[in-house]
Amino acid sequence: MKYLVYIFCFAFIFSCNSKEKNENIEENVAGKKVYDMYQPSEMATLMNEMYAENLKIKNEILAGNTPEVFPTDFLKINTAQLSDFKKRNAKFEAFSKLYIVAEQDVFNSESAMPVKDRFNNAVGICISCHQTECTGPIPRIKKLLIK
Ligand code: HEC
């Protein structure tokens, strides 16, 4: 019972579409595959990497350093597979392009805009995209913003 509670919490935190995921969980619980039931998609894994990388960039900026090298892994957003229940739709494509442009601008040494503002713009696009279809991680993403 205790595990079930954990599983549901987990699903709640990570899921962008809890209804369908809950159905999966029930099947998996019935099949006793409780432990390995959460298999992050390629996109979910990439998103977690982007989160970690942006946290490092934030700390660099707060330390007064200027981030110099755009992490090209971020470009995988254009190709990574989403979870089964998600589709790459027009909104996703539009926001992912905007995101890459904004994130690249963080590393633009010729920009007249303070790096903090450029960084916050990029994080703002993470949030905007999430508002369209995957609201769960928004509170976490907001923590990346530099005040
Ligand atoms: C173009 C839209 C879009 C942008 C931009 C975007 N995300 Fe996501 N994000 C998604 C979608 C869709 C998912 C769900 C992926 C899946 O389940 O396959 C997701 C999932 C996540 C997750 C949950 C991963 C998991 O373990 O389930 C986190 C955390 C996350 N994004 C953080 C970020 C951060 C941080 C940024 C900016 C640096 C960002 N996202 C930019 C659409 C976006």
Is 90 a member of any domain? yes
Cβ 55 vs Cβ 144: under 8 Å: yes
Number of domains the chain is built from: 2
pLDDT of amino acid 20:
43
Of ligand 1's listed atoms, the one at least distance from the Cα of 16 is 14
Q: Do 25 and 52 have their domain in common? A: no
Q: Do 108 and 59 have their domain in common? A: yes
Beta strands in 94-140 (DSSP E): none
pLDDT of amino acid 59:
98
Rg (alpha carbons) of the chain, rounded to whole number: 17
Q: Do 34 and 53 have their domain in common? A: no
Q: Do 77 and 117 have their domain in common? A: yes
Of ligand 1's listed atoms, the one at least distance from the Cα of 15 is 27
Q: Do 35 and 84 have their domain in common? A: no
What angle is formed at CA 82 by the lines to CA 76 and CA 87, rounded to 5 degrees?
115
Q: Do 6 and 34 have their domain in common? A: yes
Is 147 a member of any domain? no
With a Cβ cut-off of 6 Å, ligand 1 is lined by 14, 16, 40-41, 43-44, 47-48, 50-51, 54, 82-83, 86, 92, 95-96, 99, 125-126, 129-130, 133-134, 137, 140-141
pLDDT of amino acid 144:
98
Which residues in the chain come in under a pLDDT of 50?
1, 3-13, 18-28, 32-33
Q: Do 28 and 76 have their domain in common? A: no
A 10 A CB-CB count for 12 gives 12
Is 95 a member of any domain? yes
Q: Do 8 and 49 have their domain in common? A: no
Residue 48 CA to ligand 1 centre (angstroms): 8
Closest Cα to atom 32 of ligand 1 = 47
Angstrom distance (rounded) from CA 93 to CA 146:
26
Q: Do 32 and 46 have their domain in common? A: no
Cβ 46 vs Cβ 80: under 8 Å: yes
Q: Do 74 and 118 have their domain in common? A: yes
Is 57 a member of any domain? yes
Q: Do 88 and 69 have their domain in common? A: yes
Is 99 a member of any domain? yes
> What domain range includes position 52?
42-142
User: DSSP letters along the chain, please?
Assistant: -HHHHHHHHHHHHH-SSHHHHHHHHHHHHHTT--TT-----HHHHHHHHHHHHHHHHHHHHHTT-------GGGGGGGTPPPPTT----HHHHHHHHHHHHHHHHHT-TT-SS-HHHHHHHHHHHHHHHHHHH--TTHHHHHTTS--
pLDDT of amino acid 21:
45
Is 120 a member of any domain? yes
pLDDT of amino acid 14:
52
